[in-house]
Amino acid sequence: MNIALIAHDKKKDDMIRFTTAYQAILQEHTLFATGTTGQKIMDATGLTVTRFQSGPLGGDQEIGALIANNKMDMVFFFRDPLTAQPHEPDVTALIRLCDVYSVPLATNMGTGEVLIRGLERNDLSWRNIVRGEVPDNNME
Given a cut of 50, is residue 139 above it in pLDDT?
no
pLDDT one-digit tens code per residue, 58-103: 899 999 999 999 999 999 999 998 988 877 888 899 999 999 999 9
Report the predicted TM-score, pTM, of the whole model to 2 decimal places. 0.90
Q: Is residue 15 part of a domain?
A: yes
Distance (Å, rounded) from C-alpha 3 to C-alpha 74? 5
Highest mean pLDDT among 5-14, 89-98, 116-125: 5-14
pLDDT one-digit tens code per residue, 23-53: 999 999 999 999 999 999 999 999 999 999 9
More confident residue, 136 or 125: 125
Encode 79-139 in three state secondary structure.
CCCCCCCCCHHHHHHHHHHHHHCCCCEECCHHHHHHHHHHHHCCCCCHHHHHCCCCCCCCC
Which CATH number do you get for residue 95? Answer: 3.40.50.1380
Phi, psi of 46 (to 5 degrees): 80, 5
Domain boundaries, position 19: 2-130
Given a cut of 50, is residue 140 above it in pLDDT?
no
Q: Is residue 137 part of a domain?
A: no
Whether 11 contacts 27, CB under 8 Å: no
Give the pLDDT score at 88.
Answer: 84
Would residue 60 show up in a list of annotated catalytic residues for this protein? yes
The residue annotated as part of the active site, out of 13, 14, 43, 60, is 60
Q: Is residue 124 part of a domain?
A: yes
Give the pLDDT score at 136.
Answer: 53
Q: In 3D, which of 8, 64, 79 has the Cα closest to residue 32?
A: 64
Q: Is residue 47 part of a domain?
A: yes
